[in-house]
Each structure stands twice: as C-alpha cells, then as structure tokens.
Structure 1
Amino acid sequence: MTFQGAFTALVTPFKDGGIDQDAYRALIEWQIEQGIDGLVPCGTTGEAATMTHDEQGEAIRICVEQAKGRVPVIAGAGSNNTKEAVYLTKLAKKAGAEATLQITPYYNKPTPEGLVAHFKALSDEASMPFILYNVPGRTGLNALPETIARIATEVPDVFGVKEATGSMAQCSDLIEQCPEGFVVFSGDDFTVLPLLSLGGHGAISVVSNIAPKMMSDMCAAFRAGDAVKAKELHYKLQPLSRAMFIETNPIPVKTSLGMMGKLDASFRLPIVPLLSENETKLKAILKENGII
C-alpha cells in the first residue's frame, strides 16, 4: 500500500442510535470512485469520541470490507489511556486495517519522555504500523519536531505523522529532523499544498469528504510537477475548507453531506446541529462552488 495523496477523515453516519451501515458503505464507495487515495475511519471527524469500542471495531471493519483492498485504511485507534489505545489498536488489526492513527494523549499532557513511553508501549503490546497525530488545538499538547523525530527513531511501528499545527515553520523543522522516508501528512486542509512543497506526502482531510476528487487531483498534480494546476485546485478548495470550520468539526462537513443527499446529518451529544444562520451560509457556499 502507498501512503501518499489525499486520505479522507471519514464522517460516521448514524441512524436509529447506531451506525447507518448503508449510508456509510455508499459514502466509502463514492470516495473511491472519486479517486481518493485512502480512508481514515474513527478519527475526530468520525466522532470516535462518542462511539463505544464495539462501534469503533464495527466502523473499521465496514470500511475495510467496503474498500476491498483498493485503497489503504488507516483506522483511528488512539486514546489518552495507553491501555485503551492498545486495545483499540488490536481491534483495528483484527478488522484488517493497514495502519492506525494514534493521537498524542490529550488532557494528561505527558512530557516528551511520556510520549515516547506511550508509543513504545503501543508498539510493544499491539504491534502494527501507525501514524502519530499531532493536533494541539484538540489535545492541549504540541509534540515538537525533536520529540517526533525521536519517536520516529526509537519506535519501530511509527512510519509517519499527521501534522495539524498549521505551522509551516514547524513542519519544515519536522521534515528536516525526521528520518528519510518518514511520511508527513497535513491534518489542516488550508496548508496541504504548502506542506507538499516542503516535502510532505499528502493530507488526511476533512474537506475531501465533500470534494474527494478535487483534493486527490491537487495532490496528484503536485506529484506530477504541475504546479499551476495544483495551485488552481488549492484556491478552489479554500472557500470549502473555510466553510468546514464555521463551527466545530464535524458539524459543517456532516451537514454538507446531508445537503448532498449522502447521509442523514445526525450527531451524538455533545455535538449538536449547525446553527440555522450558519446553515444558510454553508448552503450558499456549497451552491456557489458546485457541491450542491
């Protein structure tokens, strides 16, 4: 499996208190038809924080089953509890995912030594390839380049990072300090193209839920050396990316998919529906950009 290009941080459709399997499978199939390079179930966008362990296992299994090996599946399996991360990783492995996405422990705010120990324990107890997820806006902790470089060197299963600081200076330091071939994905839709220009490998994207072809084409154009096309697609994506964050993710993106007829835009508390005034703004943006 190749880990480059546009990977979608999938939403999880819900219905009657559980996962809407039909809508979920249809969304996955559409993503692949549109040329997406990979899928990431059970992340922040997938509302994994409100799902039971059994539901996470089910969501990953469905995704792997529907993908049928056509694109890689990186399953969200992280936790601020190392034992729980080990358990979730074992679920992802059993479901057949190619790799997992492992968030830095949130709330606990571990030291760099604690981060290294967390990921070493994960590798020792549930060995499986994984990508580290650095998202200070969600965790309250910024894993600095020197710490990630140390993890990349000392932990055998880590092969990349989803970098969501939005700081190109930090991304540049990260790529400079990490081993050759270490995969660096953007976790921030606004900075995918700048990160590619620094040597990044692609994106784990929110906006590609609604515009998979556009995001995939942008990454492919850059790899092919077509900077003009890549820049054109970057600026086409910008208003959509802004719209996906008019409220907390995944509220706008799931609402957008509802407007597109892809699923029922239902949420689990404490996530609630989009404010009506923002729904009006969102609909206008989607219409203006040809999404609906």
Structure 2
Amino acid sequence: MQKFVGMGVALVTPFTEDLQVDYAALRKLVSYNIDNGTDYLVINGTTAESATITAEEKEQIIAVIAEENNGRLPLVLGVGGNNTQQVVAELKRLDLSAIDGILSVAPYYSKPTQEGFYQHFKAVSEASPKPVIVYNVPGRTAKNMEPQTTLRLAADFDNIVGVKEAGNNQQQYYALLKDAPEDFLIISGDDDLALGAVLGGGAGVISVIGQGFPKEFSTMIRLGREGKNKEAFELHYRLMDIVSMIFEENNPAGIKSVLKHLDITTDKVRLPLVPATEELQARIGAFVKAF
C-alpha cells in the first residue's frame, strides 16, 4: 500500500463566518497541500469536525475534494463511530468510487474490551470495499486498543492494511513496529512523535500540522524514511513549538488559527468547540509570521 506511505494530512473543514462549510476555502486548502508535497489527503476525519458535519455536507465535501484533487493524490475517507451497525451501513451507502482507502476510528465512549475492538473492526473490514486503516486514539476514545489487538487484525484481515497509532506512547509504536507483518503500515497519528516513529520503521504520518506546513513536514518525514536523521531533526526542531501550540486548547481550533494566519480559511469551529483564545492566536500568528 505505497499510496499511504509518507505524509497524509487530516484536512479540516473550513467554515465561513456564519459556520457554513466554505467550499472555496476547502479547494484552496487542497491545492495548497497538493502543490507543497503532501502525499495523500484524509477527508472527514475527526480533525474535520466530522461529529458536527451533516450527512449531506459530508457527501458534498467528498465531491468537492475529489473534483479539486482530480486524481492527483490518493484520498482516504474517515468512516467510523461507536455504533458498528451504523458504520457498516455508511460504508455500504457511500459512493466510494473516488476514494482509495478508509480511516476508521476506534469506537469512542463505549470503552469496548479488546475483543470488542476486534469484532468491530472485523465488521468494518467485511463491509469495506476499500483498504482500511484502523485508528487508535485513546486520549479521545477513552480506551487504548492494545498492540496485540492491532496485530491480530493485521494478521486476520487482508484489507486492514495499517494503523494510525495516536496513543502518544513511543513504546507502543515500537511494540507495533517490532511485530507487525512486513506489509502492514504503522502510521503515526502524533505529530510530535512522528519522526521517531518513522526512524523506527514507520510508514509515515497522518498529520494535523502538516496541512499548515506541508512542504516542511513532508520533507521531514521523507528525510526520516531515508535515514537522514540530522536533516530531519532540523525540521522537527523548527516545527516543534507550533506542534505544541496547536494542541494546547483543542483540535482543530489550533490548526485553524494557523490556516487563518496563512490566509486559507477562517478560524471558525462548530460548538461544542470554540476558536482559540486571543492569547494563543497571537502566539500562533507570531510563529507563522516569523516562520
């Protein structure tokens, strides 16, 4: 699955001042990333505020991104939730003709057992006509999917091709990298740990900050995959402060502030999220201007 190697970006959903989806800004964001080295695009993931996007908006977002992309980069679609039947139904209902892969988040809030995770993703695998990347993010779901469960899924289902691992735990990355099948992709979901994961043998990252600084972040990942540690870490250190800043309050308020200062979209988010505070916005703006 070479199409999911390198830097993918978890695209935000741009909003107008009155919180409508801003499709012109979305096109601008897609083109900015294509032109600056992003390897693939992730649509309607959790960073896209998928919890507050309507079904109609989701379908329009897919159509607009697919049209703007025009086959230039692989497209990965976020389809996940804590109602397994609903996730399966969505996979069967959606037109996935323009989509190359599915990113499916581990069930949140319900706190399933490891067997529950396994059975959920078994159902997703059987319903999906596209390759599946499972997504472990215990800081948001409230339950960690253990490496043994991820590796069991990798062994049992041919179309589960990778994991976006966002446990913010370097040892968990190493446990996966040590025992994963050779063709199974270990993809970082932690921008701050991405370079370390890649240097350990990871396939790359699905990044939030990458959509703001696609040239630099994708170059860092490429250098890491080539084993050029010194050059890669120079970029890591340049971006380290902004990576911390964008997650200080909530995601995607931080990255939307970055994109506002880059004149790509507004900083608007839908409730229950609120925009970054003035103090954080000022620091982000100063970083972007200096960078």
Could you state the TM-score of these two structures normalised by the residue count of structure 2? Answer: 0.94
Give the superposition deviation at 1:115: 1.2
State how far apart, in whole Å, the 1-side matches of 2:179 and 2:94 are: 30
> Which residue number corresponds to residue 73 of structure 2?
71
**Within-5 A mapping of 1:102-113:** 102-113=104-115
State how far apart, in whole Å, the 2-side matches of 1:134 and 1:281 are: 30
Give the superposition deviation at 1:17: 4.3
After superposition, give the CA deviation of every residue in 1:198-217 in whole Å (9 maximum; x if it has no partner): 11011100111210011111
**Within-5 A mapping of 1:1-292:** 2-15=3-16, 16-90=18-92, 93-94=95-96, 96-288=98-290, 290=291
Which structure 1 residue ranges, 5 or more long, are not aligned?
A: none
Which segment drifts farther, 54-63 or 194-203? 54-63
Structure 1 pair 149–93 and aligned structure 2 pair: CA distance change class (3 A): farther
Give the superposition deviation at 1:134: 0.4
Whether the aligned pair in 2 keeps the contact of 1:146 and 1:177 (CA below 8 Å) is no
After superposition, give the CA deviation of every residue in 1:62-96 in whole Å (9 maximum; x if it has no partner): 22222122111111111111122123334555352
Structure 1: which 4+ aligned runs deviate by more than 4 Å?
Answer: none
Give the superposition deviation at 1:114: 1.2
RMSD: 1.5
Whether the aligned pair in 2 keeps the contact of 1:92 and 1:100 (CA below 8 Å) is no
Give the superposition deviation at 1:197: 1.3
Kindly tell me the number of residue pairs found equivalent between the two proteins: 289
Give the superposition deviation at 1:149: 0.5
Write the letter of the residue equivalent to 1:96: A
Which segment drifts farther, 10-19 or 234-243? 10-19
